[in-house]
Amino acid sequence: MKDPYNFDFLTVTKEAHEREIERGLLIHLRDLLLELGRGFAFLGSQVPLEVAGESFYLDLLFHHVRLKCYFVIELKSGPFKPEWAGKLNFYLSAVDDLMRTDGDAPTIGLLLCESHRSPIVQYTLRNIEKPIGVSSYRVTRELPAPIRAEVPTVEDLQAVVTKLRDEIETLRQERSDEE
C-alpha cells in the first residue's frame, strides 16, 4: 500500500476531525479515486453494517474491480492507535460474512491516520490474518501565501452573506409595504 496518501486537494484546519476529512474526500471523490489508484469503484460512505442488532458504519467502502474484492477504508485523525486495527478487523470480517459473494476475494482494509510508527503498527498487525494496511495521509492545512492573498477570508465571505441577507430583508419589507 501507498504511504503516505496525498490529500492535498483537501484544505482543512489543524483541528479537522474524521468526518470533516471524510466529507472533503467525498466532495473530491474523483481526486480520491486517482490517489488510490486504478480499479477502485466507490460504493458508499457511512455504509451501515447490522451485526447482532447493532449498527456499525464503514467510513468508506469500495470494490476493487481487478482484485474482485471489497476495500474498506477507516479514517482516523491523529497518530495510529493499536485499538483501531481491531475495529477494522471486525469490519473486514463483517463485510466478508454479510456482503461478500462467492466470486469475491477476501476484503482488504486500509486504516488511514495522520501518522504512524512502524514498530507499533508491526506489533499490532503481527497476528491479524486479515489483509490490513496502515498508511498516513497528508492534507494541506492552509492555502499557500500567493493564493491566500487572492482568496477572500471567512470573515469577508461572512460580511458578504450578511449584506445579502440585509438586502433581501429590505426588499421583502419594501414589497410588504407596497401591498
Report CA-CA distances (Å) from 138 to 9, 29, 75, 104, 114: 10, 16, 12, 31, 7
Residue 95 clears pLDDT 60, i.e. is over it:
yes
pLDDT at 43: 93
> Is the omega angle on the peptide bond into residue 144 within 30 degrees of 0, that is, cis?
no
Residue 105 clears pLDDT 70, i.e. is over it:
yes
pLDDT at 52: 93
CA dihedral 167, 171, 177, 179 (to 10 degrees): -170
Residue 160 clears pLDDT 60, i.e. is over it:
yes
Residue 149 clears pLDDT 60, i.e. is over it:
yes
Rounded to two decimals, the pTM is: 0.61
| pLDDT tens digit sequence for 60-73 | 999 999 999 999 99
- CATH 3.40.1350.10 for domain 5-142, yes or no, is yes
| pLDDT tens digit sequence for 11-59 | 655 556 677 777 777 777 788 888 788 899 999 999 999 999 999 999 9
Looking at per-residue confidence, does 125 or 22 come out higher? 22
8-state DSSP, 142: S
Helix (H) or strand (E) holding 125: helix 118-125
Looking at per-residue confidence, does 30 or 104 come out higher? 104
8-state DSSP, 111: E
pLDDT at 4: 65
Residue 128 clears pLDDT 90, i.e. is over it:
no
| pLDDT tens digit sequence for 79-92 | 888 888 888 889 99
Q: Which amino acid does the sequence have at 49?
A: L
Q: Which neighbouring-strand residues pair with 62?
A: 42, 71
pLDDT at 13: 56
